[in-house]
Amino acid sequence: MSQFWSETVRALQPYVPGEQPQLPNLVKLNTNENPYGPGPRVLEALRGAIGDTLRLYPDPDSTRLREAIAAHCAGGAITPDQVFVGNGSDEVLAHVFPALLRHERPILFPDITYSFYPVYCRLYGVAHRTVPLDASFVLRVADYAQPNGGIVLANPNAPTGRVLPLSAIEALLRASPDSVVVVDEAYIDFGGESAVALVPRHPNLLVVQTLSKSRSLAGLRVGFAVGQAALIDALNRVKNSFNSYPLDRLAQTGAVAAIEDRHWFDHTRQAVIRTRAALTRELTALGFEVLPSAANFVFARHPRHDAEKSALALRQRGILVRHFRQPRIEQFLRISVGTDEQCAALVAALKETVSP
């Protein structure tokens, strides 16, 4: 701690992302990146964007990108003024907290979910209450029928991978018509139905998505929110009080190409979904209990092997997975779905470490 720190900084508890070690030959299954790179159309578009125009500021409104997202989301039911884009969905979420969730009443989110939400609460002074998931880590909609200043949930949830049907999202929206319900759909393209289709009917719904997972662009930092124009206006007011140009020229160009390349998107996510099924079978055969996953990771525990020790043993074999030292889930490993080869390496290493 330094004498120069403000009170605000002293009180922060920053999010700790999964490690990104700069070591060669690591099997990196710890941060849910896509094992397949961006498609050739994206790479070509990015190369085309490198040139003299980089001396100019980018479009502050990311107009082409918002148009592309509107055209490719929800079968044309969305207009560009219902789309907000940011430097990764983490930045979009960061703007959501002061823009739409800081009210008198505390906001609600599950006890087991993306651990960035409480971090934003502290940064922006948003009171929150956590609502326990049930014993199988399923969200009980009825538990949210209580006065609140907003609701945030990840669907599919992180780090469990469990998904809620749209009927449950609609029930949440109807039970809290005066609060914004934020649905973080970072993993929706790997399973489940997007709530974007509900936006035209629900003024209190904000859906957040990212190009980091299903579009293989974690390195480009692009995320977006879809909601009715009043909610999007609120986000623009915060954004334009913070950074007018959050998406640079390369990010806007690459993101447009990625959104338009339906073929690459479908091809790679189907591959991830297939590998997830195979990985689930193999982990189950090794004695793991694997939660049903609609995401590009699985969440698994072994009845006889300590999760933290297993994560360390895997690390010594050059394989990274994520372990959370957190009540209720400290015996779980979160394993990103890699290529078939990466998952085979993981299973081979686990056979050595968890065999009786």
Ligand X SMILES: *Cc1c(COP(=O)(O)O)cnc(C)c1O
With CA atoms as reference, report the closest residue to 296 among 218, 240, 229, 205: 218
Among residues 30, 62, 82, 89, the one that binds ligand X under rule CB under 6 A: 89
Indicate which single residue of 45, 73, 83, 154 sits in contact with ligand X (rule: CB under 6 A). 154
For the bound state, the minimum distance from the C-beta of residue 238 to ligand X, rounded and expressed in Å, comes to 16
Residue (101 or 349) nearer to ligand X, CB: 101
User: By CB under 6 A, what part of segment 4-43 binds ligand X?
Assistant: 32
Amino acid at 247: L
Residue 74: CB atoms within 10 Å:
18
Closest CA to 193 of 207, 210, 211, 172: 207
Residue 90 or 282: the one with the smaller Cβ distance to ligand X is 90
Residue closer to ligand X (CB basis): 268 or 349 = 268
Least Å distance between CB 159 and ligand X? Answer: 8
Does residue number 320 form part of the binding site for ligand X (CB under 6 A)? Answer: no
Which region among 1-9, 85-93, 99-107, 132-140 touches ligand X (by CB under 6 A)?
85-93
Which of 38/223 has CB closer to ligand X? Answer: 223
- Token pair recorded at residue 2: 């330094």
Q: Tokens in use for 75?
A: 């079968």
- How many CB atoms lie under 10 A from the CB of residue 143? 13
Let me know if 219 is exposed, middle or buried by CB neighbors in 10 A (0-12, 13-18, 19+). Answer: exposed
Per CB under 6 A, 191 contacts ligand X: no
Token pair 């065999």: residue:
355
Beta bridge partners of 322: 334
Residue 210 in the binding site for ligand X (CB under 6 A): yes
Using CB under 6 A, which of 98, 223, 227, 254 touches ligand X?
223
Q: Which is nearer to ligand X, 158 or 207 (CB)?
A: 158
From CA 48, how far away is CA 113, in angstroms rounded?
39
Cα–Cα nearest to 300, from 312, 290, 315: 290
What residue type is assigned to position 76 of the chain? G
Binding-residue total with ligand X (CB under 6 A): 13
Our CB check for ligand X shows the closer of 212 and 310 to be 212
Which one among 99, 123, 139, 158 touches ligand X, defined by CB under 6 A? 158
Q: Which is nearer to ligand X, 217 or 345 (CB)?
A: 217
Q: Provide the strand spans (E) within the chain.
A: 27-28, 83-86, 107-110, 128-131, 151-154, 181-184, 205-210, 223-227, 289-290, 297-301, 319-320, 332-336
At 225, list the tokens.
């929110």
Residues in the chain: 356
CB of 50 to ligand X, least distance (A): 23
Contact region for ligand X (CB under 6 A) — 87-95, 118-126, 318-326, 344-352? 87-95
Block residue for tokens 């990104």: 20
DSSP run (H or E) holding 247: none
| Identified binder of ligand X from the candidate list 58, 88, 110, 227, rule CB under 6 A | 88
Contact (CB, 8 A) for 114 and 183: no
Near ligand X by CB under 6 A: residue from 77, 218, 250, 344: 218
150 binds ligand X (CB under 6 A): no
**Is 212 among the residues that bind ligand X (CB under 6 A)?**
yes
Q: How far is the CB of 356 from ligand X (least distance, A)?
A: 34
Q: In whole angstroms, how close is the CB of 113 to ligand X at the nearest point? A: 8
Q: Which residues bind ligand X (CB under 6 A)?
A: 32, 88-90, 114, 154, 158, 184, 186, 210, 212, 218, 223
